[in-house]
Structure 1
């Protein structure tokens, strides 16, 4: 049995995840080697060394969740812990949280910071996947099958908006919406769902008006103005976006060479985080960009394929949630640095610098690999049973 389990792991998926993470580590060193000493008076490999520690922790998290059967997360005790734990952790931020980037979204742990909203994403995925999987027999009973889990989602997103961190709340909402729309509801139920969401927005609108000064800050509005016309604000809010365009244009097809970026010399203030793709584009050209896009697309499409062939509703929804999280974050990051959508400060999965983000991705990727393993194992086991039955019938006919 152990041999069959080991054979059932999708090693192509595992390999792409690790190769992309190692590629990100190399690019973090290249992107931050000038900025670290020039801006922070730190060693040139400071962010590289920190990300190396983050990668080791993410690897441990990946191995743990890749080995633990994913059905464990369906247990009532786990769901209760996620429900109350996530609300408590987000609520405690307003008392013990650390303010960074005009948002009280972080816990300060010595020299390190932890952003709980990153891990809430995975909590929401597990909770909604488990609850809607259990409600399959009455998924179209709106009051019982649909509404209760939405209350949890509203509370979580509301607490994150209050920090205020609208970007993380929007990502969690989009991930949750993907899971909900994939849960097996019919068209009538989905129409009711969107009606309820519209009513919630109407009731929430007075809050946004009261808190407009703290939510719609000058910095956030500047991101919208720079998105509409970055070159009109190239000295202020559009500075990063314009330099991102210059980095992309300078790279061309072949790039200027690994480590040879000009934009990382202070022109892109955070080249190792949400604008790391601009540095990749400048140094490695179209080849580097296509490599990253291929790896991210491979992971997302593999996850969706697992969801499509998985016979267990919970495993299927879990794979959809994790795949959509990686896909949505990738789109928001790449859309922001190319000017397709306003900037949000979202990191590029597996590539950008960030401990909380990489640890979350390690946990989530391990779960996805575990769902894939059990799906492949069940598929192979069923085919073997079918073959044994066919052989037995053939012998009986003789």
Structure 2
């Protein structure tokens, strides 16, 4: 009993409870938002809710492994993990292994395994490896060879992902850049990296017509076609119908095939419709608390590696939440990025929970 009390005392309870609440919101929200498509496609309205619960159980095991394993193990083998996840991303360019959904080949279809989204693995592996490189070169960041090495890591982590999923690639790149800033990037290095990023983003946007159409439709929403702005408009209708207190759990009308991916990309809109402004504020507050606790852990770490990794893990989840919510309320153009812990998606949920496990492990030694 004393052993368990000591374990709880060393655990960041604020972060742990926040993660549990986010997962709880995800379970009830996915169950409701996915009911129409589950009924129509699989003859079971609870199909996606049950699968979310299964992913959640796997995620808890992943969180436990991240919490129990020595951090030195992940630091030592971070390069191998990084290379392995990049290979998985590159396999997406082999049609034999790619599963296409909505015209996007983001999922690997490997024999005897469920569909996985390799970019979610890259989020964690790139943070672990970047943290190691930054910590090892803490006092040599000004050197040209170190700068080139960091550029190479960011490029390898983001470019293959961006070709398949622009928004996820952006989140990975921005996260690694934030880690570099915390480590002590110089102004000319920052300007150079931003310039390279802009040069890379322009052809990535123009590569696919739908990406450009979404951005142009968003920027010129008053004159954009109904097709260009349909998803944002439907999302705003859902939020408006929720009012202050919402229409009630399971009573959303927009989830009935008006909202694309209601249980995934636009789940925040369904939450606002069913639970109103109160529900929306509650979710935003949970992500704010998560980000605060994560950065607090980073600021109190005893070594640079833990600091950079904590900043990276917190930033990727916080940034992804901001983008998803801003898309839902019409501040950003539509992207296919999920709301961490809440949106349906096995790989995304499991990796977010593993990220939380790493943060809890770091907090244990603060």
1:269-348 to 2 correspondences below 5 Å: 269-348=260-339
1:224-235 matched pairs, under 5 angstroms: 224-230=215-221, 232-233=223-224, 235=226
Q: TM-score, normalised by structure 1?
A: 0.85
The 1-side partners of 2:300 and 2:145 are apart by 28
Shift of 1:33: 1.4
State the distance in 2 between where 1:322 and 1:332 align.
16
Matched with 2:147 is 146
Q: Gapped runs of 5+ residues in structure 1?
A: 376-398
Q: CA deviation at 1:234?
A: 6.3
- In the alignment, does 2:97 pair up with 1:102? no
Distance 2:198 2:239 in 1: 38
| Cα offsets for 1:25-68 (capped at 9, x unmatched) | 00111111123223x24301011011111111111101111112
Work out which of the residue numbers 121, 128, 131 in structure 2 matches 1:129: 131
Task: Tell me the residue number matched to 1:378.
Answer: none
Paired residue secondary structure (2:139): helix
Aligned match of 1:87: 86
Asked whether the equivalents of residues 262 and 270 of structure 2 are also in contact (C-alpha less than 8 Å), the reply is: yes
> In the aligned structure 2, how far is the partner of 1:199 from the partner of 1:232?
32
Q: Structure 2 unaligned segments of length 5 or more: list them.
A: none
C-alpha RMSD of matched pairs (Å): 2.2
Aligned length: 361
Q: Secondary structure at the match of 1:56?
A: helix
Partner of 1:208: 203
Shift of 1:208: 2.6
Distance in 2 (alpha carbons) for counterparts of 1:24 and 1:103:
24
In the alignment, is the contact (CA less than 8 A) between 1:36 and 1:47 conserved in 2? yes
Question: Residues 304 and 323 of structure 1 are in contact (CA less than 8 Å); yes or no, is this contact kept in structure 2?
Answer: yes
Alpha-carbon offset, residue 322 of structure 1: 0.7
8 Å contact kept, 1:183–1:317:
yes
Distance (Å, rounded) in 2 between the aligned partners of 1:226 and 1:281: 24
User: 1:81 offset after TM fit, Å?
Assistant: 0.4
Q: Against the structure 1 CA distance between its residues 246 and 63, is the aligned structure 2 distance closer, same or farther, given a 3 Å change threshold?
A: same
* Match runs of 1:222-261 below 5 Å: 222-230=213-221, 232-233=223-224, 235-261=226-252
Larger mean CA deviation between 21-30 and 91-100 belongs to 91-100
User: Would you say the 8 A contact 1:118–1:357 is kept in 2?
Assistant: yes
SS at match of 1:105: strand
Distance 1:342 1:200 in 2: 19
With the length of structure 2 as denominator, give the TM-score of the two structures. 0.92
After TM superposition, give the deviation of residue 239 of structure 1 in Å: 1.6
1:167 matched to 2:167? The reply is yes
